Amino acid sequence: MNGQTTPLLSIGIIFRNDIRCIERCLKALQPLRDAIPSELVMADTGSEDGSREVAEKYADILIDFPWVNDFAAARNAVMERCSGAWHLSVDTDEYLDGGVDELVHALESDQGVTNMYRVVIRSYTNYELVGSYSDFFALRMVRMSTGMRYQGAIHEHLVGTNKSPIISLPKVIFNHDGYVGMGGEAGKAKRERNLTLLREEMKSRPEDLIIRLQMIESSAGEPDYLSHVRKGIAMVRKRAAGWQVFGPPIFRHAVNAAASMHLTEFWKWAKLAMDWFPNSYFVRIDVAYQAMMQGWLEKSYEKGIHWGEILKAGYEDFRAGLGDVDCQAISPLHAAIPYCEQTMRIILACAYLETNRAEESLPLLLDLDYSSMDPRQVNNLAKMLRELHSKTYVDTTELVSKVWEGLCAPVPSQKQADMRRNVFLMTGASVFTEAHLKKEQSNASRPAYTFFLPLSGKCPLGTAASVMESSDPAEMTALLGSVERWEEFPASALAHAMEAGMAFPLPDRAMRIEEMDFLAAGLSGEWDRMFHLLVAAADADFTRSLQSLAWTWDMSLAAIRVCQWDDEKKGMALARIFANTERAILSRSYVPELLTEENLFLLQPTHRFGWYCIRAFEALDSGDAVGYVRLLRKGLDTAKDMKPMVEFLTEHTPELQTPSQELLELADKVRGMLAAFDPGDPAVAAIKQSPVYQKVAYLIEGLEAPVFGGLKQ
């Protein structure tokens, strides 16, 4: 009790099996307990997981209160043991977020203006307590002399004859994670407990709108959820007691349900909400947010703009504290959070663009907080920016600089900044591809990639844009020399530079094979373009340096991985290039003693296959078609992922399509020999192991068996 005989504040907590969160909660209360004379009174309603032992370390008074399926009863039992002038109720899945100044000031400067205070319960959607949340203004602190007590087995609330105003303390925030997982298996027991208690209350108070609202909020995902929503709407339309207060959040839930369940009543309910409650933030923010999103999804852009502008005005008034901001004491506003406001700005800007009002998009985008965005928002923003730039002549110079600086700001951490940066780069890189540029030719005012030009030298996409705008190999070489991380550079811009005659890899800059892998994989997304670049590299002196050799080899591997093998000419050329680069790689990388068949196990699979591929083409070029097939088969045994290439070669190599007359006659003779024996005779196995049989095996059994399976030999 901090050495005080009469505490100013009693903090009351009930708990049961809350070992996950109880100590975090109690530790977070310590700054408040240090700041003012206080006591901590706790009731254990039946813990078996060690929660009680934790409570014993912190509580001034710890009692047992057997659970009787009544939250109000448990809280009132705690209040009966409290001796402070004020009582503050806290749950163990909440913890006081930092500053306590506003709360301390309210208690220490008490002038008798009020007997009741609300605090903010901020409910997050994850246990990390980051990202999306909703705020609820909960009446949690009352003057003990009022005699107020709790009522309600579930969603208990304070009742009494006190008539003083309720004052909200918006800076007193309790972070809450008790609703995380409520819709899944982990929250099933808690959900069923709440619903059981609510259904019991509803039996005795079927026309009570607050009970109906609580049932709607607790039954989401349950079979009777929609029934409760419809009954709630009907009760409001009949003007049941409290309809002005509880009608707006009920309509909000109805509109949300209609959106998620694709109900035909969506627009009807949204209009009714606005007609009946035009000044409520549940309508101006929550309903308007859903309606704006629905208009966008339906491509009804004018409708989306109508609701988006209502929403924008709603946010402005809410942030300014105008109107009934304390409506959150009835139910949390779902869309009153910065994340939704950011989304509103992006969607409304997109809708303006779609309706030829691009000049109204720019201010919305300039006012965004880029450093608070999640990956989805960054992705949507990047797409919006390229559309705004390519379809209009709006000056986006200031915008692109602000976006890049904001995304890269280390807020709230460098890890988050890197995530935003990576998403922006990945999404933006798509505008550099040949496919995108061809698509733009018919409907763009300017290439989308030019949006990034102001970032040249600061951002990989800016440097790539400068490369795309250049036709001078020397200038492009200088630009590419400034690239620090090749894995962030659009491969299409590199392809443009290579097609313009720029030598790559850069002569004075060493590249790691991982960097080459990334660029080659990027080029492989444009197969025809990559094939021509590969042929050009192979026709040049690709052995002039290890860098150029590694690059040509890496490109050939990337091409093999994506090749559809439906073009005979290109397929044969690709296979030959791969074999030629493998020959050069192996001769430079390994001592001759290793490059023998018995030592191939020391090589990686790609090089083992490459060794056989080299020998196969040597056999083919010397007229040994059978040796060609045999070597390909052995190579495939070392690298199964090369099967498409081997299939292509055995099916499209001309020398295998028209065997010589001599070979055909030999095959007939071998067939005759095999026919003379029973299939199980040992002589058959001996014949199949002979060199003569191996020469004609593919003519007798077909190519597939000896090349791929090897089971019939």
At residue 356, the 3 state secondary structure works out as coil
Domain count, the chain: 4
3-state class of 4 per DSSP?
Answer: coil
Do 238 and 278 have their domain in common?
Answer: yes
- The pLDDT of residue 709 is 34
Tell whether 142 and 186 lie within a shared domain: no
- What band does 594 get if pLDDT is binned at 50, 70 and 90? confident
Per the domain annotation, does 519 fall within a domain? no
- Whether residue 654 is preceded by a cis peptide bond, meaning omega within 30 degrees of 0, is no
* 3 belongs to a structural domain: yes
Residue corresponding to tokens 């002589």: 683
Q: Kindly tell me if the per-residue pLDDT of 461 is higher than 50.
A: yes
Domain presence at residue 86: yes
478 and 378 within one domain: yes
pLDDT at residue 711, rounded to an integer: 28
Residue 266's domain spans which residues?
181-314
pLDDT band at 712 (very low <50, low <70, confident <90, very high): very low
- Quick one: 345 and 455 in the same domain? yes
Same domain flag for 462 and 375: yes
Q: pLDDT tier at 552 (50, 70, 90 boundaries)?
A: very high
Token pair, residue 607, equals: 């090089």
Please indicate, yes or no, whether residues 17 and 68 belong to a single structural domain of this protein. yes
Give the integer Cα–Cα distance in Å for 138 and 123.
12
The C-alpha atoms of residue 85 and residue 98 are separated, in whole angstroms, by: 23
What's the rounded mean pLDDT across residues 344-349?
97
Task: Judge if 310 and 368 occupy the same domain.
Answer: no
Mean pLDDT in residue range 539-559: 94
Contact 578, 540 (CB under 8 A): no
Q: Are residues 119 and 231 in the same domain?
A: no
Region 81-88: mean pLDDT is 96
DSSP 3-state helix, strand, coil percentages of the chain (rounded to 5)?
Answer: 60, 10, 30
Are the beta carbons of 476 and 482 closer than 8 angstroms? no
Query: Is 129 a member of any domain?
Result: yes
Same-domain check for residues 145 and 16: yes
Mean pLDDT of 442-452: 92
Q: Which of 446, 463, 484 is the last residue of a domain?
A: 484
Confidence of residue 193 (pLDDT cuts 50, 70, 90): confident
**Same-domain pairing of 341 and 255:** no
Q: Please say if the pLDDT value at position 400 is more than 80.
A: yes
Shared domain for 352 and 472, answered yes or no, is yes
* Percentage of residues in the chain having pLDDT higher than 70: 96
**Dihedral angle computed from the Cα positions of residues 626, 632, 635 and 640, in that order, rounded to the nearest 10 degrees:** -140
Report if residue 477 sits inside a domain.
yes
Cα-Cα-Cα-Cα dihedral sign, residues 377, 378, 381, 382: negative
pTM: 0.78
Lowest mean pLDDT segment, chosen from 83-92, 583-592, 639-648, 668-677 = 668-677
